Amino acid sequence: MVKAEAYLQSNVLKLCTSYRLLAYHTHDSRRSQPGFPDLVIVGPGGVLFVELKSEAGKTTADQEKWLAALNGAGVRAELWRPADLYSGRINDTLRDLAAKRRPRSVTCPSCTHKIPLEAA
């Protein structure tokens, strides 16, 4: 894991703890399915799968396949970078997950563009 990704993961896990969210990370993924997201986060607002990358980090084809398949199945799956931590996006997402709030938008896994959700 790249230093920036380890820093990001550490901060995300601290936020999960502060919001009392369950978070899972496979510590040794060498025998796991290729491309499976780095984190699975569970709270009253649902389940979130997250792939962590440095600012310059590239997703693999397998990672993109997993993110697309999860989103296609109606499960939230996002790509997070350090800029998302600094902008507050990660905090807002985890706060909403902890508070049973429906997300205001989702992020396209391939281009990180925010897509607003329709009002229910």
Q: Which of 64, 83, 67, 60 is nearest to 4 (CA)?
A: 83
CATH of the domain at 13: 3.40.1350.10
pLDDT band at 119 (very low <50, low <70, confident <90, very high): very low
Question: Could you read off the pLDDT of 5-50 as tens digits, one per residue?
Answer: 899 999 999 999 999 999 999 887 777 888 999 999 999 999 999 9
Q: Determine the pLDDT at residue 36.
A: 95
Q: Which domain holds residue 39?
A: 3-116
Q: Determine the pLDDT at residue 30.
A: 78
Q: Average the pLDDT over 62-90 and give the result.
A: 96
pTM confidence score: 0.81
State how many domains the chain has.
1
